[in-house]
Amino acid sequence: MKKRISLLLGVTMAFGLVLSGCGGSQGTEDTAAADGEALTGTVSAGETRGSEVDTAGFFVSVLNADIQTADVQKTTKDYEVPWNIYDRLVEVKVAEDGTSSIEPSLAERWDISPDGLEYTFHLAQGVKFHNGNDFTAEDVLYTFTRMLTEEGAMNTESVDQIKGAAELLAGEAETLEGVEVVDDYTIKVTLKEPFAAFLACISTAGASIYDSEATEAAGDQFGMDPALTVGTGPFKFASWTLNDRIVMVRNEEYWKGAPELPGVVIRIIPDTETQTMMFENGELDIIDLDFVTDAVDRFTATYPDQIVQAPRVGITYLTMNHNQEPFQDPKVRKAVQMAVDKQAILDALYGGRGQVEYGIIPHGLIGFNPNQAPINYDPEAAKALLAEAGYGDGFTMELSANSADSDTTTMALEIIKDQLAEVGINAEIKNYDESTWLETRKAGELGSFLATWTADFNDPDNFMYTFFGNKEKTTVRSINYADSETMGRVAAARGIVNEDERIAEYQALEEKLIHEDAAWASMYSRMHLWAVSPRVKNFVPMWSGVGDKMYYSVSISE
């Protein structure tokens, strides 16, 4: 057994988090605040940390900005290196039909108790960390404990449903009560209450498993010094030259089989015109078209056989504040749903690259219902509903614009304004500075606004509970949905142990919330496009359609 080391790590008291589970506060929103302060103080610009490597034949990728750290417990955005140098107990896999599931990884299998409280993970044997250490249950205990005790730690939501997590986070305990090492390759995790999204939460980058001995020995240089930053993943962190490049090399002893690529060079190039030039000159093997939006049509026309795309697992939605007149009336809310031509907006702003959404659970997420009834663009039916509600002559409403909104969001609001005018609704766009917008929304007093919520763990809970889990959650989004019985069902669904029953309940709730109560106007989800070099084979986007890339499946044919 690996030498047991002290787990009495320095506990930070500065979080002040509300422990509501992985779905309670994670997720990515286009109006989200920035990440924490940069952690680059220990690395000088131009300084190279790690070993010099001959990168001939390596895959060449690019990022617009340098990472802060490769320690996933100290970042909420720098995941490209971690996805490739670490593994997790479970991973998300996407089938050919686009559906996704939670699959074994470092945990070969698991048993869940009938009450949904105990997860017994049976771990893969013979797995080695990059430094040669054996992976054991001790490392899982260490990782989950460090997530709750390391100073400045982030992503604590991934494990805060574990029994005793709140006490450990608050400094009221010295060990994590709900995690028991049964033997070297068996670990039991007990939750404080049933939470069916737990497996999805620990499939995230933030739940990557660390080597207890190496991480502890590295101290604050873990994630900063490549030589001290080890995982079990298919690539090793070889070197990092600040604001220039990151190099990862193939893990020849990878327990799932060594990747075909000898390594990956990630160039740091903020200027997208330079990225475009380098790609077209053959100096880059991939370019994220999110950052060259003005050239997407040219890329798709010029390199039609080199475009790889994947749906963004997220949803753009238009809110209606149920506390504000006349949105107390569901007929008015339904009229707005039918008055907005979502496909026209998707076509105008994104060249049709995406799909119209009708509910809360988007395409690509576990629990998506492909058979839900569409909400069609029907301005005449919208006018009839408004007349039934007593607003045949229309009304005036606010569309709340955030100064931090993208240009495309601003343009979408203008299109929505024009479409609403066609049914007699006078939508006035009111501009807010970002801090006022956020404060007003949090108070539940913001008018209608357009936003996007993107999944970071693969479960309906990340969407349903975030917006409709209780009165507080719907208030801080300025939706103010008032049906306490339905919100109680949303909260209760988190603990349904039988997966088929849970998904059926979520889909029934979606029908109630969107198609019956018109709680918001679902809009669309978008496609994410990359252009790849002709020599690149088998590049597979992340399940969620985000910009981070995993390189294990990729190969190069010269």
Instruction: For residue range 63-122, list pLDDT tens digits in order.
Output: 999 999 999 999 999 999 999 999 999 999 998 888 889 999 999 999 999 999 999 999
Nearest CA among 78, 363, 92 for reference residue 202? 92
Query: Measured between alpha carbons, how far is residue 546 from residues 29, 435, 526, 540 in Å?
Result: 12, 26, 11, 12
CA atoms within 13 Å, Cβ hemisphere of 378: 11
Using a cut of 0.85, tell me whether the model's pTM lies above it: yes
**Is 499 inside a domain boundary?**
yes
As a whole number of angstroms, the distance between CA 233 and CA 254 comes to: 7
User: CA-CA-CA-CA torsion for 375, 376, 378, 379, nearest 10 degrees?
Assistant: 60
pLDDT at residue number 294: 84
Judged by DSSP in three states, 350 sits in helix
Out of 41-55, 143-157, 247-261, 388-402, pick the least confident: 41-55
Q: Which two tokens stand for residue 452?
A: 């996007």
Instruction: For residue range 470-480, list pLDDT tens digits in order.
Output: 999 999 999 99
> Structural domain of residue 155, as residue ranges?
1-31+87-209
pLDDT band at 38 (very low <50, low <70, confident <90, very high): very low
Which of 182, 209, 236 corresponds to the end of one domain? 209
Q: Which two tokens stand for residue 297?
A: 């049509």
As a whole number of angstroms, the distance between CA 149 and CA 127 comes to: 26
pLDDT at residue number 30: 61
Query: Does position 31 have pLDDT exceeding 50, yes or no?
Result: no
Instruction: Give strand ranges (E) for 312-467.
Output: 314-318, 354-356, 395-402, 425-432, 450-454
pLDDT band at 16 (very low <50, low <70, confident <90, very high): very low
Instruction: For residue range 229-276, list pLDDT tens digits in order.
Output: 999 999 999 999 999 999 999 999 999 999 999 999 999 999 999 999
Query: Measured between alpha carbons, how far is residue 108 from residues 92, 100, 120 in Å?
Result: 14, 18, 11
**Buried b or exposed e, range 367-380, using 16+ CB within 10 angstroms:** bbbeebeebebbbe
Sign of CA dihedral 84, 88, 94, 99: negative
Q: Which CATH number is 115's domain given?
A: 3.90.76.10
**Is 164 inside a domain boundary?**
yes
pLDDT at residue number 287: 97
**Is 260 inside a domain boundary?**
no
As a whole number of angstroms, the distance between CA 495 and CA 366 comes to: 16
Q: Based on the structure, what is the number of domains in the chain? A: 2
pLDDT at residue number 153: 87
Q: What is the DSSP code string of 105-162? A: SSEEEEEE-TTS-EEEEEE-SS-B-TTSPBP-HHHHHHHHHHHHHSTT---GGGTTTB
* Statement to judge: residues 338 and 204 lie in one domain: no
Instruction: For residue range 147-196, list pLDDT tens digits in order.
Output: 999 988 899 999 999 999 999 999 999 999 999 999 999 999 999 999 99
Query: Does position 516 have pLDDT exceeding 80, yes or no?
Result: yes
pLDDT at residue number 28: 57
Out of 20-29, 213-222, 280-289, 297-306, pick the least confident: 20-29
Mean pLDDT of the chain: 92
Share of the chain above pLDDT 70, in %: 92
* Statement to judge: residues 518 and 371 lie in one domain: yes
Query: Measured between alpha carbons, how far is residue 173 from residues 138, 141, 165, 440 in Å?
Result: 19, 15, 9, 37
Q: Which CATH number is 405's domain given?
A: 3.10.105.10
**Is 235 inside a domain boundary?**
no
